Structure 1
Amino acid sequence: MEILNVGLGKNSYDILIGENFFEKFPECIGNVYDGKKLFVITDSNVDKIYKNEYGKMFKGFDYTIYVLEAGEKHKHIGIMPAIYSGMVKAGLTRKDMVVAFGGGVVGDIAGFAAASYMRGIDFVQIPTTIISQVDSSVGGKVGVDLPEGKNLVGAFHQPKLVLIDNYFLNTLTNRYFYDGFAEIVKYGCIYDKNFFEKLENIVKLSGLSETDKNYKENLRKHLMEHINGLVYRSCEIKKEVVEKDEKESNLRMILNFGHTIGHAIEQFTNYEKYSHGEAISAGMVDITKIGEKKGFTKEGEAVKIAKLLKALNLPTEIEYPKDEIAKIMKRDKKSTSDGINFVILKEIGEVEIMKIGAEEIFE
């Protein structure tokens, strides 16, 4: 097991990364919480697979399991009253703790419930997908969607602990296994060229061809041999960025690379056609192509990024009506009266935040 500490003064916490240590969760949680009551929020997919493990994961605690319907389309503000009622019925007080056990949607909802219930109670993140392990479980951004846009209601509420056990990745479908690699590629693009090249080399060293019949399965096995290191470095990069800018006033914006277009694609397709990672994958390629066209980005970077994402079974081109996407982007949290803060790649490993109009970006 490896430990990263997110140093945020009184809001500091540890990220524990390992494999098959879920039976030690009670001890880990007990190190940051001296109470007995846990309100565990999960979703229907995770609950179906792991409900027989709850007794081991939360041994010694008085725990309540609250199950959400799985999927981003259920991450809307309308579900919150029922969750709050569940917390009241469970007798949850200000001194008790929420546990988010699931992917990014569960983490966002559970974190927002913890941030807002009784004006804020503590919570722990137990992410079960790659995308939630390397991204949404770290940094304290929590929230829900409105019909008008993604994550428009939320808070900054840091967890007390993040428990990353790669045991949970074994039950992911191939689609959602590869989904998380969009965020891993993002960290290389925005912060660490060597990390990007390391991921390229890991894929190359698999010796597999994308035309192979069992390419997805065999590459997955190969990637799992390296997953702890990839997750560790991704979390380390996010931790470094969050430590410098917890509330996203400047530097932390770089974590949104590809996300402005990607979030708009998700919303335009009603969160049903593309997963988060798939939309972000196409968003990163698109914004890099736009950067090259406008002379902001070193030529050829979009091709390199697309090649790696394609090898990781992610889409690099998604057709969408630019006028509709522009309208949605105008409602993005990063939008202001004089434009949107887009994260533009200068070259792999280096980005710049530029304020550009929603329509202007596609010109």
Structure 2
Amino acid sequence: MAVIPVHLAGRSYDVHVGAALLDQAATLAKGLMRKVVVPVVADRNAHQHHGARLEASLNAAGHQAAWYFVESGEGSKSWDELQKLTGWLLAQGVERGDHVFALGGGVVGDLTGFACAILKRGCGFVQLPTTLLAQVDSSVGGKTAINTDAGKNLIGAFHQPSLVLADTDTLKTLPAREMRAGYAEVIKYGILGDFDFFEWCEANGGNVVSHDADKVEEAVARSVAAKARIVAEDERETTGVRALLNLGHTFGHALEAETGYSNALLHGEGVALGMVLAARYSARRGLLSGQDAERACNAIAASGLPSEIASLKLTCDGAKLVDHMRHDKKMDAGTLPFILLRSIGAAFLDHEVSLDDVAAFMDEQLKAN
């Protein structure tokens, strides 16, 4: 088991990565449970596969779980679900000093974290991520949010968890597609800032998505460590350092919006395509060599992730995709910064990107496929 500290002023916490952590949850979270009944917000699939293990751990320590179930999918990150969840937490008598457990993927973690951020002006929560994507990305760093008609994650708050338990055993129940989608966020850390890790991913990506236990634990631990360093340096994304974690997301979110935030394109798949587009656009701008751009694209494709827009069968044009980008929460004074690449492992924030040029580039990509 690896333990990665997230160092923040006065609010540091640990991320545990390894097998059988749900079986040890009550022990590891002992100091965070003040009452007999522990509120647990869970994805129904996560509860079906892993709820009994968590409940057994709590029961053995003299606690009981009070379950609140959330349907799978981005549709649960809504105003309506937020209202229902906060109402339930209030009915449970949750106080500011209490902790709510979140068992599931990024949807559950985002929704629960935001509910805890606003409930009585802030109560604690514990992340128990059960997907690869959540373990390496959304469960760490304190970004919580819901979606609206205007776009994804536009209503939210920074609210750090008190503990994260990334039980790698939970990944064994993931469908292959979900595992690949999560891997997109793993290789992202290599592409944006760690060439050595990118080379590790080139050599071991197939082993990660096929559930090699040692490689999975190493991938998760190294990804979390990378994110922890960035979050510690720029917790609220004010200096531009944390923004680098959005590599692939501006392009990816536009594709997600165009496909209706549906199962036609999972978030990780959108990020994968977004990184391909960021690499190719960087090459088009003369910032990145064409060879490096295609190397990054090939590494993404080798894991089984989509790497060509053709797979989406879109009927829109580049201007429509750019319209989606205009709703990006990073928009500032009418401009949208893009995370681009100078080399593999060297991402940077470019504030001088013309959206008209991006639209033309997207038209080229759509026609090329």
> TM-score, structure 2 length as denominator?
0.91
Match of 1:153, SS state, is strand
Secondary structure in structure 2 of the residue aligned to 1:263: helix
* Structure 2 residue aligned with 1:309: 300
Per-residue deviation, 1:38: 2.1
156 and 14 in structure 1: CA distance in 2 versus 1, 3 angstrom threshold:
same
Query: Deviations for 1:298-338, whole angstroms, at most 9, x for unmatched residues?
Result: 22222111211111110011244311111111110111234
Q: What is the match of residue 211 of structure 1?
A: none
Equivalent residue runs for 1:273-292 within 5 Å: 273-292=264-283
Matched with 2:349 is 353
What is aligned with 1:215? Answer: none
Ranges in structure 2 where 5+ consecutive residues have no aligned partner: 361-369
**CA displacement 1:162-192 (0-9 Å, x = unmatched):** 0011110010000101111100110001110
Letter in 2 for 1:277: G
Instruction: Quote the residue 2:100 is aligned against.
Output: 98
The amino acid across from 2:338 in the alignment is F
Partner of 1:107: 109
Residue 35 of structure 1 contacts residue 95 of structure 1 at CA under 8 Å; is this kept in 2?
no
Give 1:14's aligned residue.
14
CA contact (8 A) 1:108 1:141 kept: yes
The whole-number CA distance in structure 1 between the counterparts of 2:309 and 2:79 is 28
Report the Cα distance in structure 2 between the residues aligned to 1:342 and 1:325, rounded to whole angstroms.
Answer: 14
Query: Partner residue of 1:185?
Result: 187
- The answer (yes or no) to whether the contact 2:23–2:54 under 8 Å persists in 1 is no
One-letter amino acid of the structure 2 residue matched with residue 193 of structure 1? F
Q: Distance in 2 between matches of 1:228 and 1:235?
A: 11
- In 2: Cα distance, 1:305 partner to 1:245 partner: 26
Corresponding position of 2:366: none
Q: Give secondary structure in 2 for the equivalent of 1:20.
A: coil
Alignment of 1:337-352 (within 5 A): 337-352=333-348
Q: Which residues in structure 2 correspond to 1:1-363 (within 5 Å)?
A: 1-59=1-59, 60-203=62-205, 220-221=209-210, 223-249=212-238, 250-272=240-262, 273-319=264-310, 320=314, 321-355=317-351, 356-363=353-360
1: distance between equivalents of 2:255 and 2:209? 27
C-alpha contact (below 8 Å) 1:141/1:156 kept by paired residues: yes
Cα offsets for 1:26-48 (capped at 9, x unmatched): 01111344444422111122122
Tell whether the 8 Å contact from 2:111 to 2:146 is kept in structure 1 after alignment: yes
Q: Give how far 1:50 is off.
A: 2.6
Deviation at 1:348, TM superposition (A): 0.4
Between 45-54 and 88-97, report the one with greater CA deviation. 45-54
The 8 Å contact of residues 327 and 358 in structure 1, kept in 2 or not, is answered as no
For 1:301 and 1:57, the matched residues in 2 are separated by 48
State the Cα deviation string for residues 96-144 of structure 1 (Å, max 9, x = none). 2111110011110010011011111000000001100000000000010
In structure 1, the residue matched to 2:363 is none
Residue 158 of structure 1 aligns to which amino acid in structure 2? Q
Alpha-carbon separation, structure 2, partners of 1:71 and 1:120 = 25
The CA distance in 2 between the partners of 1:117 and 1:222, in whole Å, is 38
Assess, with a 3 A threshold, how the Cα gap between structure 1 residues 220 and 183 changes in structure 2: closer, same or farther. Answer: closer
Root-mean-square deviation over aligned CA pairs = 1.6
Q: Which amino acid in the other structure matches residue 347 of structure 1?
A: S
32-41 or 101-110, larger mean C-alpha shift: 32-41
Identity across matched positions, percent? 34
In structure 2, the CA distance between the partners of 1:98 and 1:42, relative to structure 1 (3 Å rule), is: same
> 1:222 offset after TM fit, Å?
6.0
Instruction: Give the counterpart letter for 1:359 in structure 2.
Output: D
Deviations 1:185-223 (A, max 9, x none): 10001110000001112258x6xxxxxxxxxxxx74464
State the shift of 1:233 in Å.
0.6
Whole-angstrom distance in 1 between the partners of 2:82 and 2:168:
29
Contact 2:110 2:143 survives alignment (8 Å): yes
What is the alpha-carbon distance in structure 2 between the residues aligned to residue 36 and residue 122 of structure 1?
16
Distance in 1 of aligned mates of 2:57 and 2:260: 34
- Say if 2:321 and 2:359, in contact at 8 Å, map to a contact too: no
Q: Which ranges of structure 1 fall in alignment gaps of 5 or more residues?
A: 207-218
Determine if contact 2:279/2:340 at 8 Å carries over to the other structure.
yes
Give the drift of 1:265: 1.1
Contact 1:97 1:122 (C-alpha < 8 Å) held by counterparts:
yes
Is the contact between residue 183 and residue 209 of structure 2 (CA under 8 Å) also seen in structure 1?
A: no
Amino acid at match of 1:358: L
Output the CA distance in 2 between the equivalents of 1:116 and 1:357.
Answer: 37
Say whether the 8 Å CA contact 1:104–1:136 is kept in structure 2.
yes
Deviations 1:252-271 (A, max 9, x none): 00000000110111122111
TM score, norm. by length of structure 1: 0.92
CA contact (8 A) 1:38 1:62 kept: yes
